Amino acid sequence: MESFVLEKDILYVGGGNTKNLLALWKEWGLDSILRKAWEEGVILAGLSAGAICWFEQGVTDSYGDGLEPINCLGFLKGSNCPHYDGETERRPAYHKLMETNKLHSGIALDDGVAIHYKEKEIHKIVSSRPNAKAYSVSLEKGITERELHAEYLGSE
């Protein structure tokens, strides 16, 4: 079950059901409160559903028979696809959803990768796994993946 924790000026959202998380936040007015917190400098963080939620769109397994597009809070432009290397169907589903114009271009993250945004721009990408990566994924003349440099935080 998704949850969130607010500690000092950091709001962390865990993984879970993205659709339920967003529906409840909107019903309770938390989406507006979160936007105001974000605009006032609160750091927003998350994993899986907690990462997808900040973007305009994302790829979710929260409903339907497979991976589906979902509209999110829209604090960050584009779409997000977590578990890019961790679930075999994520990468092809993300590509197909872009090719059928159901998702905008966006960012895909292997498991263990985090992106730090400042002023809506990527500031730094880090990884807890030596070979985990982040990608800018777009539809040009077909799907284009551009690997983004991720700094490995461990020791080799």
pLDDT of residue 1: 43
CB 126 within 8 A of CB 151: yes
Binning pLDDT at 50, 70 and 90, where does residue 9 land? confident
- Position 135 scores a pLDDT of 98
As a whole number, mean pLDDT of residues 108-131 equals 94
Residues with catalytic function: 48, 83
Q: What is the mean pLDDT of residues 110-128?
A: 94
State mean pLDDT over 72-97: 96
For the cut 90, the answer to whether the pLDDT of residue 26 exceeds it is yes
The CATH number for 19's domain is 3.40.50.880
Contact (Cβ atoms closer than 8 angstroms) between residue 149 and residue 132: no
Task: Enter the pTM of the model.
Answer: 0.91
pLDDT tier at 10 (50, 70, 90 boundaries)?
confident
Helix (H) or strand (E) holding 113: strand 113-118
When mean pLDDT is compared across 7-11, 13-17, 142-146, the lowest value belongs to 7-11
pLDDT higher than 80, residue 74: yes
Alpha-carbon span 103 to 101, nearest angstrom: 5
Domain that holds residue 110: 4-152
pLDDT of residue 4: 66
Give mean pLDDT, residues 57-65: 90
Average pLDDT over the chain reads: 92
78: left (phi over 0), alpha (psi -120 to 50) or beta: left
Query: Over the chain, what HEC string results?
Result: CCCEEEECCEEEECCCCHHHHHHHHHHHCHHHHHHHHHHCCCEEEECCHHHHCCEEEEEECCCCCCCEEEECCCCEEEEEECCCCCCCCHHHHHHHHHHCCCCCCEEEECCCEEEEEECCEEEEEEECCCCCCEEEEEEECEEEEEEECCEECCCC
**Number of domain units in the chain:** 1
